[in-house]
Amino acid sequence: METRSTQALFRLFFALKPALLVARQTDHFAETIAAGAPRIAVDHQHVTLAITCDHVDYPYAVIKALLRAGTGVMAEPFDLRLDQLSIGNRSAALRPSRGVPLLTALQQRIVSGMKGAGVMLRPGWSFSPHQTLFYRKGRPEHRRVEGFSWHVDRFMLVCSHVGRTHHETLATWRLKGSGQYDLF
């Protein structure tokens, strides 16, 4: 008989979160196509920008380093449109149908800040902007959808208490462009 470990894990990641109205609209859309699969909670919907390895103990030192990394990130606000539904063999997600240069620049600045703070990305992880709607097995499908858009003017550092359906927002930074730290 196989038993699964009930040990808590902590997963740190930088993310974008849609406005509550957009998250609710996205959840309603997911409900229409999920065929009973459990959906991602409205308050957990996000686009991952960078993620670390999982930690067995609460990672105070890593959090401190990531807070320093996030504080140094300067980037322009931008509009994000997720207008491509991508269903794979384990999940369904919304993606942008074309590149978003300001999103890519933000993500690269975050990764650079992480490296400068001595924190590496999870091995094997690569940035592929998407917002997961639900997990399930099914036949792959890709199609355009009307899309879900929001103005991205902030990013955050989140600690996921894996298996406990709890996301702890550790910090939020506003995007104000290259002059965001000007005093005058």
Q: What is the pLDDT of residue 182?
A: 47
Q: What's the number of domains the chain is made of?
A: 1
Tell whether 180 is covered by a domain: no
Question: How far is the C-alpha of 15 from the C-alpha of 1, rounded, in Å?
Answer: 38
Which contacts of 57-66 are long-range, i.e. CB under 8 A and separated by 24 or more positions?
A: 57/10, 58/10, 59/10, 59/12, 59/159, 62/12, 62/119, 63/12, 63/157, 63/159, 63/170, 65/114, 65/117, 65/118, 65/119, 66/12, 66/14, 66/114, 66/117, 66/119, 66/157, 66/170
Domain boundaries, position 125: 9-174
> Is 4 within the bounds of a domain?
no
CATH number at residue 96: 3.90.1140.10
The answer to whether residue 3 sits within a structural domain is: no
**157 domain residue, yes or no:** yes
Q: Is 94 part of any domain?
A: yes
**Is residue 181 situated within a structural domain?**
no
Whether 67 is in a domain gets the answer yes
Q: What is the pLDDT of residue 136?
A: 83
**Is 58 within a domain?**
yes
Task: Kindly report the pTM of this predicted structure.
Answer: 0.89
Instruction: Write the pLDDT tens digit of every residue in 8-57.
Output: 699 999 999 999 999 999 999 999 999 889 999 999 999 999 999 999 99
